[in-house]
Amino acid sequence: MNKIFKLLAPQSLVGIAAVCAVMLCLIMAMNLGFILVADGVFVRPISFYGVQAIVVGAPFVFGFTAITTYQLRLQRHLSLLSRKDGLTDLNNRRTFLELAQKRLDGGNAGVLILFDADHFKRINDKWGHAVGDRCLIEISHRLKWNLRPSDVAGRIGGEEFAVLLSNATLHEARVIGWRIGQPIPYRAVDNGPHLSVTLSMGAAEIAPGIALDTHLIRADEALYLAKSKGRARMVIWEPRDKFEENAA
């Protein structure tokens, strides 16, 4: 049904003109067929009936095409809104998990990184939620500027973000994480004081045969260790015995 709907509501002017032309031709053919069956003969030139069908049918064809085109555009817009975070324009949690799972299903290697804005509650408490929103927007800009087209990014919580670096090594993840993790500047108000926020990062290397939920748990454990070690840093997940050794 969706394919038929999309076929009847093309996005280009050429496509719209083609649909209108085909529908008008069908109306002309149906009109001529009806007259032939009803009267058994054309009492007027065929061209007359063709013009008659166009004059009568054109308003309905154009109206139908306009409505279906508008409905399709609205559907696409609503679909986009349902998949994006309204504030940062990054993928929302559900979309990020779907795209990340597709990468894993495709056998892609890489590194999963969780980011958390350091002391974000203090920002909201001191400057207000509007300033907190500005901070989150600047974080999203930093992510977009430093990621590759093949990477997947999303806002998965209040001040928590996630990135799946497709086919990246741990060394590449450290380099990208270092660039993203530099203090991110923003302003409380226009012409107000310059502020900055740092990020704590937990990374987990994608391992074959391991579920996405497990990678998320590992990255979250690494993120917790990054916070406990002073924040504003990246920690790579390791087996628990090594974690406890590093945290000691």
Domains contained in the chain, CATH given = 2-83 (no CATH), 93-247 (3.30.70.270)
Could you tell me the pLDDT band of residue 56, with boundaries at 50, 70 and 90?
confident
In this predicted structure, the answer to whether residue 190 has a pLDDT above a threshold of 90 is: no
Q: Please report the pLDDT score of residue 248 as a whole number.
A: 44
CB 183 within 8 A of CB 198: yes
Residue 57 — pLDDT band, cuts 50, 70, 90? confident
Binning pLDDT at 50, 70 and 90, where does residue 188 land? confident
The fraction of the chain above a pLDDT of 70, given in percent, is: 81
Strands 160-166 and 234-236: unpaired
Query: Which of 72-86, 107-121, 149-163 shows the lowest per-residue confidence on average (mean pLDDT)?
Result: 72-86
Q: Residue 77 pLDDT more than 60?
A: no
Average pLDDT rounded to a whole number, residues 186-210: 88
Q: Which two tokens stand for residue 191?
A: 């012409």
Interatomic CA distance for residues 143 and 134, integer angstroms: 14
For residue 204, what pLDDT is reported? 97
pLDDT surpassing 80 at residue 51 = no
pLDDT band per the 50, 70, 90 thresholds, residue 230: very high
pLDDT confidence tier of residue 6, bands split at 50, 70 and 90: low
Residue 84 DSSP label: B
Q: For residues 61 and 32, give the distance between their C-alpha atoms in angstroms, rounded to a whole number.
A: 18
Rounded Cα–Cα distance for residues 115 and 80 (Å): 24
- What is residue 246's predicted lDDT score, i.e. its pLDDT? 52
Instruction: Name 4's Cβ contacts closer than 8 Å, sequence gap at least 6.
Output: none
Residue 206, strand partner residues: none
At 44, is the pLDDT very low, low, confident or very high (cuts 50, 70, 90)? Answer: confident
pLDDT of 4 higher than 70:
no
> Considering 138, 159, 205, 221, which one is annotated as catalytic?
159
Cβ contacts of residue 239 below 8 Å, gap of 6+? none
| 160 catalytic per annotation | no
Residue 79 scores a pLDDT above 80: no
